[in-house]
C-alpha cells in the first residue's frame, strides 16, 4: 500500500453533512471518500488543461493550415492554366 500522511482540513458544516450522507452508501469511511474526490478533481483539472492546450494548438495550426491551403490553391490554379494552355495550344503569358 502507498505511504499515507494524515492531514487536517476544515469544512463547512453543510458540506460535511452531505459527505456524511454519501459515505455510508459507497465508501468505508470519510478518508476513502476524500481520496476519491481528490483524485477525480485532479484528473478533471488535468483533462481541462489538456483540452485547453489542444485548443490553443488548433488555433495556432489554423493559420499555418490556411497559409498552406492558399499556397496549394495558387499552385492548383497555375497548373490548371498550364494544362488548359497545352490543350488549346496557346502560349502562357
Question: Where do the domains of the chain lie?
Answer: 13-88
% pLDDT > 70, the chain: 98
pLDDT confidence tier of residue 2, bands split at 50, 70 and 90: confident
Helices and strands in the chain: count of H runs, count of E runs: 2, 0
pLDDT digits (tens, 9 = 90+) for 41-67: 999 999 999 999 999 999 999 989 998
pLDDT at 1 over 90: no
Cα distance from N-terminal residue to C-terminal residue, the chain: 79
Question: Residue 50: what pLDDT?
Answer: 98
Question: Half-sphere exposure (CA, 13 Å, Cβ side) for 41?
Answer: 6
pLDDT > 70? residue 16: yes
Amino acid at each position: 500500500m502507498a505511504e499515507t500522511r494524515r492531514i487536517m482540513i476544515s469544512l463547512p458544516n453543510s458540506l460535511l453533512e452531505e459527505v456524511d450522507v454519501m459515505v455510508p452508501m459507497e465508501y468505508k469511511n470519510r478518508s476513502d471518500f476524500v481520496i476519491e474526490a481528490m483524485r477525480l478533481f485532479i484528473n478533471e483539472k488535468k483533462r481541462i488543461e489538456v483540452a485547453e492546450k489542444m485548443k490553443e494548438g488548433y488555433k495556432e495550426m489554423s493559420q499555418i493550415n490556411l497559409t498552406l491551403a492558399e499556397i496549394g490553391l495558387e499552385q492548383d490554379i497555375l497548373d490548371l492554366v498550364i494544362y488548359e494552355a497545352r490543350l488549346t495550344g496557346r502560349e502562357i503569358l
